[in-house]
Every structure is written in C-alpha cells, then in structure tokens.
Amino acid sequence: MKKLRFAVASAAALTMIGGSLLVAGPVGARGVVNNSHPAKTITVGLVTDKGGLNDKSFNHLADVGLKRAEHKLHIKGAVLQSETSADYEPNLTTFANKKKSLIIAVGFLMENALYHVAKQFPHQKFAIVDGAPADDKGNNVNLPNVANLFFKPEQSGYLVGVIAGLLEKAHKAPNWKKNTVGSIAGANFLAVTAYNCGYQEGVWSVDPKAKVLADFDDGTFHNTQNAKNIGFKQIGEGAGILFQVDGGAGLGYLQAAQQKHKWGIGVDADQDYLGKYVITSALKKVDQAVFVSIKRIVNGKFHAGNNTFSLKNGATGFATDTHHVSTKIKNKALAIAKKIKKGTIKVNPVCKLGQK
Amino acid sequence: MIAFHLLFLGGTFCSAEACSVLSNPLLWETTLVSATPLVLAAMGGTISERSGVVNIAMEGMMLVAAFFSAYVTDKAASLAGLAPWEAALVGVVGGIVAGCLIAGLHAWASIRFHANQVVTGMAINLLALGLTSYLYYTLYGSQGTPGNLAGIPNWNVPVLSSIKFMSLGPILFQENPITYLAFLSVVLAHIFLFRTRIGLRLRSVGEHPRAADTAGINVQRLRYLAVTLSGGLSGLGGAYLALNGPHGLFSDNMTSGRGFIALAAMIVGKWTPFGAMGACLLFGFGQALAIALAGQLTVGSYQVSVYILNMLPYVITILAVGGLIGRSIPPAADGLPYDPAESA
C-alpha cells in the first residue's frame, strides 16, 4: 500500500514537472533586466492562447512585439504559455499578482477569462489582442482598465484574394483551368472568418466567375493532419491556391499545397520561410499592436476601450516580398490597398463562406 | 455492422450532393490516412492491456514520438548529411525509440512501483505535452521545424497501384509505407496474441497473474515487454503523423486527441487486434466524412456541425461499454498491479 501511494504521488509529481517545464522555460529564458533605467522599470506580462508561441503566426507575433519593446523601450517582459483554455485565468492571475505595468492577453479566446481577472484587479492595466472582455453571457463589455486591440483582417484577406484571383485569371496559377481557389477557417469566430470573407470578396472583385472553396477545420488550431486532409480535398476539387487561416494546424494545410505542387498563402506573419510556394501572406501585425500598446504605457497614455489597427496605421496588408507574382499584379494589389486606406473600397468582415 | 448502420443512417439523412461524396475515392483514401495512426496506437494499447497494464498514455507516447521523429530527421539531414529518405527513415526509428522510452517510464512506475495505471498514464500524457512544447520552443524557436524537412513519401505498389476497378489502385495501393506497416501490425498482433506461446502467456498474465506466476511465468517481465511494445507501436503512429508525405512537420500538440480515439477503438474492438482495427477504420471514416461533408450534412433543415461528427468515437465507446453494441469486457486483471511477493 505504501508503495502504491508513493507511486501515485510520484505520478502526480511528474505531472507537475510537465506543467512547470512548460511554464518555467520561456519565462526563465526571457528575463531581460536593463540597468540603464534605474527608475521604475516597466514590466509587461504576455499570456499566449492555446496555439502556443510556436504557431508561427499569432502568438509568435505578439512575442516579437514584446521582444522589440524589450529592446527599444527597455521594458522587462515575461511570457506564460497556455496549453488549454483552462490555463487562461490562472496565467492572467499570476501576472496580476506580480503587479505588472501591463498584461497582454493574446487572442479572443481569452475574452471571458480576461473579464473575470480584470474585474478582480481593477487597478491592473490589461490589453487584449483581437477582442474585448466578455461576460459570462458572452456579451462584450468595455472595462476602464482594458485596452481592446482590434484589427481589420478582412483588408488583408481582400488583398491576398485580389492577388490569388488575378493570378488564376491571368492563367498563371497552378490548375488555373479549374478557376478555383481555396481557403480554410480554423473556427467560426469573427477574428478568423473576417480573413476568409475578405479573401472571397477580393477574389470575386477581380474574377466574379471564380469558385472560392472554404472549409472549417475542427476548431483545435493544432490538428495538422486534419487541415492537410482538407487541403487535399480542396485540391481535388480544383483549387490551385490555398489560403490558410488556421494557426498551427494551417501549416498542415499549406503542406498539402506543397506536396501537390500548388501554391499557398500564409496568414498573420509573413510565412514564406516555409518555401517559395507560399506566394504571399495576409498580414495582421500583432507585433505592431503589442509594441504600440506597450509604448503607450511607457508614455503614460493608456487607451481603455477599442483601439483599431488597420492599413491606416500599417498593421494590416500583404507580404510584399512575393513569389511567383508578377510586378504588374503586385502593383495592382498595392493600388487597391491605397483605395482601402482612403476608404473608397470598403471590405465586409461578415459573409457566408463560399457564397456570394 | 456498425459501419453498415452508419452508412444506412447517412443514406437516410444526407442530401443527394452529400451522398455523392461516398463515391469519391478521396474519401476512402482519407479514411486510410486518418485510420493509420489510430490503428498503430490501438494495437499498442491492446497488447499492453492484454498483459494487464492499463494504457491510456498512447496520446503522450505518440506526441513524444512525433516530436523526436521530426527532430531526429532534421538532425540526421543537417548534421550527418544523410539523403532525405535516409534521414526520414532514421527519424522513424528515432520516433519508435522515443515511444519505447516513454512507455518504459509508464511500465517502470506501474509495474515496479505498482502505481495507479490510470494516474501514471494521464501524467505521461501531460508530461508529453509539456515536454514537447518546451523542447520545440527551445530547439526551434518561433520558426518551427524547417519547411524542407524530409518525410516518408507515399509508395505506389507495383502493378496493383494501377488497378482502375472502383479506383482500388489509388485508394489501397498508393499509400504511405507506414500505412501498410499499420495493417501488417494488426495481423502480426493477432498471430502474436492468439497463435504463439508467448502470446498465450501474455494473455494469461492479463487474466490471472497469480495462476500464471504459479505456472512459472515471469509476470513482471512479460508486462514490461507488452508495455514497451505498445510504446514502439504508438511511436510509429506518432512518426507517421509527423513524417507522412514528402515533407515532415512538427507542431504543438499535433496528435490532437488521436491517442484517446485509439483508446476508444481498443475498447469498442473488445481488446482484439481485428476488432480494434475495425473500430479505427470506422473512426477514420468518421473523420474523413467530417472533412468531406463540412457544411453539407443536413438533418431535415438543420445543418449538422462537424463537431458532432468528431464526437462520434466517444459516443460509440460509451454505447459499447454500456453494452448497447455488444458488451466490451476488459481482461480480468487489467489495471491491477501484481506483487509476486504478496501471498494470494
């Protein structure tokens, strides 16, 4: 019996080691202390959503923004990664107890967790990327200590859609005879689907006859194999260009394009490091938003409520170091970007996927 | 039988457009692709539990193996300068070894220290998740595994792959070599468990370890063997996830619950290799169907979410355990630690 109890205890200990490795690793690796500012150091805590720092897009970009702030604004940053949605509240609370100058929650998935923690710590400043605090009924509530960092990803989706549509219409994309392009949506959330909606609107703006395939993935954002199978399905239906809006799982979707010698379009970050088959990426410069928000704290100008990041402040757009895209097409997309910036073209973030 | 019912239900509910997906060869290919890692992990689970050690750690074993198969492939190519296919092959072996090692941890805790096997298994799953995320972040930073990482490409079986009849060639004979290994492992596991002396002993250890011990069988050693084998098989499943296709990839938590679906398949398959394989094919078919039908499956005027289809394996498991689709009874000594020193 004694042995059994020891073993149960050791199993529990193993679990904790598993958890703490995860938490201690990135935090320990990061603590950059800057002595040139002996006055009160600004400390910033970043909590990732369950996509993790290695999603190569969303959380990764937030981390890039934090690192840039560490470097340029001499603040002290720390990161807590969430493995599941159950980690959001504890992670946010951990930072709140340490009285950070700003706590940044990455991702709309944390809307409800942030609502609870921000209410509990009214003197602690928070920012949430891509969302606003949401109460238990799911209603968004503006809180005096939370900055909501919103983007217009539909603008970026529209621009890469224009590029995809033009390529396929000019008979330059793989499988152009089928007149079809594809996209995947990680889950049915506005922050995700706005990209897909902009994309199809962009494709149809240059080629109204094109078929735009859109599928939802299983909502986990890390099931690479499932996303890959969806990619194969769309390629089977004639798609020559695949646009991923599916976080880490989207890497599997892009791999389907790579494997079948089709083209891909990345999301959030410029993902052409995956290979030249990623012709461009729809950008959402979370790094820019994170950096600006930290800078506002440093300058003592915290904006509670909605803060919008778009083409106007250079936070959306497409990756201009394109591959397989002619200068003519690229310039056309840049011209359209200017029109969106001016407001002469308005992109709708809401739509029915795959339908006009 | 279950598959037949499902098809029948599908037939009554789906629209004409949705039903046409059944004749698309890609659906059946995707079924095999989805079933492969499930089959391998379910074989591992079946062998382990037949010896009396509950194994719910296939998820963790697969995840660790997926990471190390990608990592070893990367290093074999970049440090040892191996050709892509050689590197991927070494990577698969690396994945299997990693699976065996993490299974060894489960075996050590549950056989040597008589730990509660469910607790240890769960701990391994959580440990694997933390360990792989940590290593992935530390070793690959924010760019992740290289985009040109080698993988195991599909293999066209000579002659057979060109069969045109019912698209059998493309569906069955243009698959990944690991898929063939997975189905071979079912036959081998069946022969091993039910046609060899060591298999008989292994099953006796899972049913009545005291009697087996009295007959001179080394209970502990057989259990170590079974659990390690389960790690190796799950490891091959994990390597498949990371390396199938011409390019490999690791991503955080990429197993995404497949170890648990394999566990369900083992239970629905009543702890037999062929039963588990059937359940894996059914669940693989469910995953393939969810992809093929996304947004098309309607019941009356209601659109059925893919999430409902993703729940299917677990619903069927509950029905199976509850005795509604033939009763599933585990090996008698499954989950009970055995101490040779204790008197009966």
Q: Do the Cβ atoms of A184 and A252 come closer than 8 Å? A: no
- A250-294 per-position pLDDT tens digit: 999 999 999 999 999 999 888 998 999 999 999 999 999 999 999
**Is A87 a domain residue?**
yes
pLDDT of residue A41: 87
Do A278 and A189 lie in a common domain? yes
Listed residue (A232, A180, A171, A174) closest to A203, CA to CA: A180
Count of domains forming chain A: 2
- B248-301 per-position pLDDT tens digit: 999 989 999 999 999 999 999 999 999 999 999 999 988 888 888 775 655 555
> Chain B contact for A182, CB < 8 A?
no
Q: Do the Cβ atoms of B241 and B262 come closer than 8 Å? A: no
Do A51 and A118 lie in a common domain? yes
A-chain residues within 8 Å CB-CB of B147? Answer: 258, 273-275
How near does any CA of chain A get to the CA of B47, in Å?
23
Do A161 and A230 lie in a common domain? yes
* Strand, coil or helix: B273: helix
pLDDT of residue A189: 84
Residue listed under structure tokens 């359940």: B279
> Chain A contact for B34, CB < 8 A?
yes
**Is A33 a domain residue?**
no
pLDDT at B308 over 90: no
Q: Do the Cβ atoms of A290 and A132 come closer than 8 Å? A: no
Low-confidence ranges of chain A (pLDDT < 50): 1-9, 11-38
Looking at the whole model, is its pTM more than 0.80? yes
B-chain residues within 8 Å CB-CB of A66? Answer: none
Do A80 and A146 lie in a common domain? yes
**Is A4 a domain residue?**
no
The residue-averaged pLDDT of B22-33 equals: 89
**Is A226 a domain residue?**
yes
* CA–CA gap between residue B179 and residue A176 (Å, rounded): 33
Kindly state the greatest CA–CA separation across chain B: 66
**Is A88 a domain residue?**
yes
Listed residue (A51, A218, A157) closest to B290, CA to CA: A218
Burial B139-169 (b: 16+ CB within 10 A, else e): ebebebbbbebbbbbbeeeeeebeeeeeeeb
B4 pLDDT tier (thresholds 50, 70, 90): very low
> Chain A contact for B320, CB < 8 A?
no
Q: What is the CATH number of the domain that holds A258?
A: 3.40.50.2300
Kindly state the greatest CA–CA separation across chain A: 77
The answer for B244, left when phi > 0, alpha when psi is -120 to 50, beta otherwise, is beta
A12: closest chain B residue by CA = B123
B5 versus A337: the higher-pLDDT residue is A337
pLDDT at B305 over 90: no
The residue-averaged pLDDT of B21-42 equals: 92
Interior CA angle at B255 toward A26 and A81, to 5°?
20
**Is A348 a domain residue?**
no
Q: Do the Cβ atoms of B173 and B157 come closer than 8 Å? A: yes
DSSP B152: B
* CA–CA gap between residue B340 and residue B210 (Å, rounded): 8
**Is A82 a domain residue?**
yes
How near does any CA of chain A get to the CA of B191, in Å?
31
pLDDT of residue B233: 98
pLDDT of residue A49: 86
B-chain residues within 8 Å CB-CB of A273? Answer: 143, 147
**Is A28 a domain residue?**
no
Are residues A60 and B142, on separate chains, in Cβ contact within 8 Å? Answer: yes
Among A53, A223, A274, select the one facing B256 at the smallest CB separation: A223
Do A168 and A144 lie in a common domain? no
Do A85 and A161 lie in a common domain? no
Do A75 and A208 lie in a common domain? no
Do A143 and A262 lie in a common domain? no
Do A278 and A293 lie in a common domain? no
Are residues B30 and A255, on separate chains, in Cβ contact within 8 Å? Answer: no
What is the extent of the structural domain holding A45?
38-151+287-309
B210 versus B5: the higher-pLDDT residue is B210
Do A93 and A171 lie in a common domain? no
CA distances from A68 to A288, A289, A290 (A): 9, 12, 9
ipTM for the predicted complex comes to 0.86
Those of residues 4-63 in A touching chain B at CB distance below 8 A are 4, 6-8, 10-12, 14-15, 17-22, 25-26, 29, 51-56, 60, 63
Do A90 and A214 lie in a common domain? no
Those of residues 94-133 in B touching chain A at CB distance below 8 A are 109-110, 113-116, 119-120, 122-124, 126-131, 133
> Chain A contact for B295, CB < 8 A?
yes
Do A162 and A147 lie in a common domain? no
Residues 6+ apart with CB under 8 A from B311: none
B313 pLDDT tier (thresholds 50, 70, 90): confident
